Amino acid sequence: METVYEVKGMTCGHCVGSVTQEITALPGVQNVAVVLETGKVTVTSETPLTEDAVREAVDEAGYELVGTSE
């Protein structure tokens, strides 16, 4: 299952690493791909993730989850 989220506040490679690390730690996450320029974060997971779980992981990294992006 693949879901694309939009994250605000990322400005550099370190930001990307922090967000990737926190989301990757969620149960069932197989891959995280971040595009710094757009703030798009594509998460591939075995089962659907709740937006709250992803929001908490992004908050833990120090950034803001805007929501899913279609």
- CA-nearest of 35, 28, 20, 37 to 2 is 28
> Is-contact 22 61, C-beta < 8 A?
yes
The 10s digit of each residue's pLDDT in 14-59 is: 999 999 999 999 999 999 999 999 999 999 999 999 999 999 999 9
**pTM score of the predicted model:** 0.94
> Is-contact 53 45, C-beta < 8 A?
no
pLDDT-derived band at 69, boundaries 50, 70, 90: confident
pLDDT at 1 over 80: yes
Half-sphere exposure in the Cβ direction for 43 (13 Å, CA): 33
The pLDDT of residue 41 is 98
pLDDT-derived band at 70, boundaries 50, 70, 90: low
Query: So where are the chain's domains?
Result: 2-68
- Choosing among 3.90.480.10, 3.30.70.100, 3.40.50.970, 3.10.130.10, the CATH entry for 2-68 is 3.30.70.100
